[in-house]
Structure 1
């Protein structure tokens, strides 16, 4: 293959702005084994997704337990579809743990994270959707000794960062300049609800009047 200037330019651009196949610009879980929509936790407890968000924005260290051991003492007592949803959640969590453990063992990097909130926009260049997290929390997930119980953890050494791939993508596609998150938000190692709102408002103010932002409660926990 001939290495041309055009090829090098395209390669550099891809490295800078990412690809919609990657999780940084495509938070839609679909059938991916390595993305998990937190709203699925409502099959265990309808309040669990919101409880997680509340804990994420207010607790450091974070030690959030996900379990259907106490909620569902007898799996056979559930309807077939409800049983299937719980089994899928178990498999998803085990896939995430195995994947992140394997990468950390091989490369020494923890790749488990949570993206929130989600920006949904249609790109100018090709009219396709980009569905991307604005902020990413570095977290850890582990099994516990209890049956069907896991813990999602975060300490003050686990960073929160703005999605750099999204920033570069917006600049490349629409010449939109997004500022970095102010260090003032991170002085205590947390981004609380009011600070999160400020970040989103600042992002919207960077947008021109004919662009639209759509935020929704969603997440990903996957290999980055």
Structure 2
């Protein structure tokens, strides 16, 4: 049976590439983003794959938006939920200065936590019935190496780092809660990639990062739920 994948933040970067590669592999894709009317590349993909790509509006920071999506998808099995949508808070150079001890933008920090943590939890809860209808039942939390406490040797980016560390805690906790229901939950560190945030000097092209991520996801089993892995399939320390 052909798998159905739901990708949030699907209009650009890693999310868009997950959509592309899933479609190329013959999978059904539900691509969710805040402004579908502005998602030109998604629209082009829909013209190529009208039967296998469904584009949905979703603001992961809004409870009403999440509830509306869950209602529209009622009864639709979802094999893999990729919780990719997230905020750093703006461009690296601009936002990094607003995540320091001396210059923390507290309103921005609250927004980052609302989207990167609370929104992900709310969406996963809302789509749990859809996951349970599927065969694969896999939830992927798109984390970051910056969310590793053990690997934090540079400090800074405190708002973003804390949100991804909290997301990792959700991964572990939900993997325990949902194991008996056959749902696997894991965290993925996609590596420093050539996205708008990562920049052109990042070592991983987006297509290569996603190709490797998909290979890791293909090997995930319920017994490995709760793990934090990188795009090479290696364990990332919490």
Structure with greater proportional helix content = 2
Instruction: Look at both structures and tell me which one has the larger radius of gyration over its CA atoms.
Output: 1
Same fold (TM over 0.5): no
Ranked by relative contact order (alpha carbons within 8 Å, sequence separation 6 or more), the top structure is: 1
For the aligned pair, the TM-score class normalised by the smaller chain equals: under 0.3
Q: TM-score, normalised by structure 1?
A: 0.27
Q: TM-score, normalised by structure 2?
A: 0.26
